[in-house]
Amino acid sequence: MGRLENKVALITGGARGQGASEAERFAAEGATVYITDVLDDVGRATAERLGDAVTFLHHDVTSEDEWIGVATGIVEEHGRIDVLVNNAGIFQTKPASETTMEDWNRMVAINQTGVFLGIREVGTRMRDHGAGSIINISSIAGLTGVAGAHAYAATKWAVRGMSKSAAKEFAAEGVRVNSVHPGIIETDMLFEFGGNIARVKESIPMGRTASPDEVANLVLFLASDESSYCTGHEFVVDGAMVA
């Protein structure tokens, strides 16, 4: 049997990058997987590529109504959601002095409010079922200060704190909540950032960036019953950047 046999998983921001890699690993381990995103064409193509175990749903994580709709629909079809990966997020490099209210509000809406809504809507349904694992994708920016990415770092610290609070709230009811803190991962978002990738690699003790699969392997562990006593903690995959 696969490590996620008979489990139902929801992965936000699953059209590409880390989310798509997580979906691929989950499906290979026996899960029924829903990937959601606002990138409809890319999301549908990813689901088609990954096969019948993966379904794409349009989903804006900043929308309370869409969260309710997605969570309700999956539970109506399968009776439960076993795993939630709050993966959707955006990145921006701006120091505090240059961050506009529009910048700030957009970052908070996607990276922080989206995670809150996922914890609330899916977590309460998991609680009613008596089991579940929520994995919130933060960043090493949620572990240390980051010059030049003020709003981004603030939201990733928030995700870390929200994960700990939710872990304590849900612990007695069978629902685990953890945060994952990737370092520099080779995804479309990294290359869209447009920075000096060679210089970034020089700052990594292991001397290389990570593939999305290396994050997906950690997320798979937290989604599986192998991590049944792990909740309320940070799991770092960064090549020793914040060691």
Q: How far apart are CA 177 and CA 221, in angstroms?
A: 13
Q: Cα torsion for 207, 211, 212, 213, to the nearest 10°?
A: -120
84 bridge partner residues: 10, 134
d(CA 87, CA 135): 8
8-12 and 132-137 strand pairing: unpaired
- HSE-up (13 A, CA, CB side) for residue 234: 21
Q: How many helices (H) and strands (E) does the chain have?
A: 9, 7
Q: Which of 67, 152, 170, 235 is catalytic?
A: 152
CA distance 228 to 157: 24
State the Cα–Cα distance between residues 179 and 89, nearest whole angstrom.
14
C-alpha–C-alpha distance, residues 31 and 205, integer Å = 35
Instruction: Determine phi and psi for 8, rounding to 5 degrees.
Output: -110, 125
E strand residue ranges, 14-87: 32-37, 54-58, 83-86
Name the β-bridge partners of 237. Answer: 182
152 is catalytic: yes
The residues that are catalytic are 152
